[in-house]
Amino acid sequence: MRGLGELEAAVMDVLWSSPEPPHRVRDVLEELTPQRKLAYTTVMTVLDNLHRKGWVQREMDGRAYRYRPSATREEVTARALRDLLDASGDVETVLLHFARSVSERESAVLRDALGEAPDGVDGR
């Protein structure tokens, strides 16, 4: 999945923040209208582009599509972090710098997650 433009990110935020997916174009437009003046066709084009890029899935409902995120915000963020690590050229050093920057709570979450490593991998 490629990066998002400003309006694409706002649309994804609506989809991620709502407890009732999937959404029609009009639903997304209504959520965005208080912050922006947008045309229905603009939101429809953005959702179509997000579908083409793999960010959203859509299903036909009568004569209109309903859209839902292809992945959670957390999954997308984790993939972005993975991409940054892969692009760094020195994953180990980046991880060490990151580990030194985390809070005690974040450190505990990481330790717990590593303790549950799959295939018997020792997380220490």
Which positions of the chain have pLDDT values less than 70? 1-2, 117-124
What local confidence, expressed as pLDDT, does residue 106 receive? 92
Nearest alpha-carbon partner for 13 in 48, 42, 50, 38: 50
d(CA 77, CA 89): 20
What local confidence, expressed as pLDDT, does residue 117 receive? 58
User: Radius of gyration of the chain from Cα atoms?
Assistant: 19
- pTM, to two decimals: 0.77
What local confidence, expressed as pLDDT, does residue 3 receive? 75
Whether the CB-CB separation of 91 and 39 falls below 8 Å is answered with: no
What local confidence, expressed as pLDDT, does residue 121 receive? 54
